Amino acid sequence: MKKSILIAAFATSLFATQVNAQSIPFPQPSPTTTISQNFATSKIELSYSRPSAKGRKVFGDVVPFGKFWRTGANAATTVTFGEDVKINGTDVKAGKYGLISFPGETEWIIVLTKDLNVNSVDAYKQENDVARFTVKSEKLADYVETFSIEVNNIKNDACDLTFEWEHTLVRLKVMSFYDERLSKQIQETMSKDSRPYFGAANYYYDNNKDLGQALTWVNKAIEANPKAYWVWLLKAKIQKGMKDYAGALESSTKSYELAKADNDDAYMRNNEKLQAEIKALPDFVPAKTKKK
């Protein structure tokens, strides 16, 4: 009887030890990461695991040249585009894709696939390819210990999807076509009663569209909020773009005075900078001082 009790106690202790060990949060050798980057009018999202070199030779050894690679570790790597894009000249519809690659010594093949669970060569089916890109690899001066996929060099309509590890960099050029879509939406919205005048004027100015239309809208925004110094500053920039330098200086001065009253040093400096830029233009003609 005593022997049975001892065996039962030992088994209970062993089970408790195993349960406790299972609940200990050990670090992942290749930690999983999820990235969500605003781009154009939506987002690019990445989900992948990040292996580290740990003293090993990576490309040509850990990752053999010319062989299938899940482009990370553990689970499949995925990328989601929130809107239609063009990647290295190829149209790609908005959606979520598996991302795999075939690294080479001087160039890589990078594949977007419909299959979101491709993490081995046996699971890969070429007929599920959505797009395939052959890109030259670049040499990095600085060593990268941990594999990284990032969204870099972000502009309104373009960015780079970069892959970095060891001394290797590979990039995909991503382009957005939001301008045509957004311009249409602005025109449709501005025909309605609720009109985002400032946002529309700012968009037209930033994208060098019809500055006359931008000026009309920014004036409407000022009518709605005459003390909005940021709107006055935008008006000054639009007027500068239209070569109405006298008007631009007048609007900028108004913006400066309103910003000063609100103790906004940043906007005061922005106006000082704009006024200096205007006065330095080769075709700027100072206003004549009226005789008393």
User: What is the average pLDDT across 53-79?
Assistant: 95
Q: How many alpha carbons lie under 13 Å from residue 201 in its C-beta half-sphere?
A: 26
Distance CA 274, CA 239 (A): 11
Distance CA 209, CA 163 (A): 35
Distance CA 54, CA 124 (A): 28
Torsion region of 59: left, alpha or beta (phi above 0 gives left; psi -120 to 50 gives alpha)? beta
Are the C-beta atoms of 263 and 247 separated by less than 8 Å? no
Residue 289: the pLDDT is 58
Residue ranges covered by each domain of the chain: 32-176, 179-279
User: What is the average pLDDT across 195-217?
Assistant: 91
Residue 192: the pLDDT is 59
Residue 177: the pLDDT is 84
User: What is the average pLDDT across 266-271?
Assistant: 95
- Reported as a single tens digit per residue, the pLDDT across 155-195 is 988 999 999 999 999 999 999 987 777 777 777 776 655 57
Residue 290: the pLDDT is 55
Distances (CA, A) of 218 to 102, 180, 230: 52, 21, 11
Per-residue pLDDT band for 23 (boundaries 50, 70, 90) equals: confident
Written as six digits, the tokens of 140 are 């990095």
- Per-residue buried b or exposed e for 90-128, using 16+ beta carbons within 10 Å of the residue's own CB: eebeeeebbbbbbbbeeebebbbbebbebbeeeebeeee
User: What is the average pLDDT across 205-219?
Assistant: 93
Residue 13: the pLDDT is 52
pLDDT greater than 70 at residue 291: no
Class of domain 179-279: mainly alpha
Residue 178: the pLDDT is 79
- Reported as a single tens digit per residue, the pLDDT across 89-114 is 999 999 999 999 999 999 999 999 99
pLDDT greater than 70 at residue 11: no
Percent of the chain with pLDDT over 90: 72
User: What is the average pLDDT across 257-281?
Assistant: 94
Higher-scoring residue by pLDDT: 11, 285: 285
Per-residue pLDDT band for 10 (boundaries 50, 70, 90) equals: very low
pLDDT greater than 80 at residue 25: no
Are the C-beta atoms of 93 and 84 separated by less than 8 Å? yes
Residue 19: the pLDDT is 47
- Residue by residue, what is the 3-state secondary structure of 140-164? EEEEEEEEEEEEECCCCCEEEEEEE
pTM more than 0.75: no
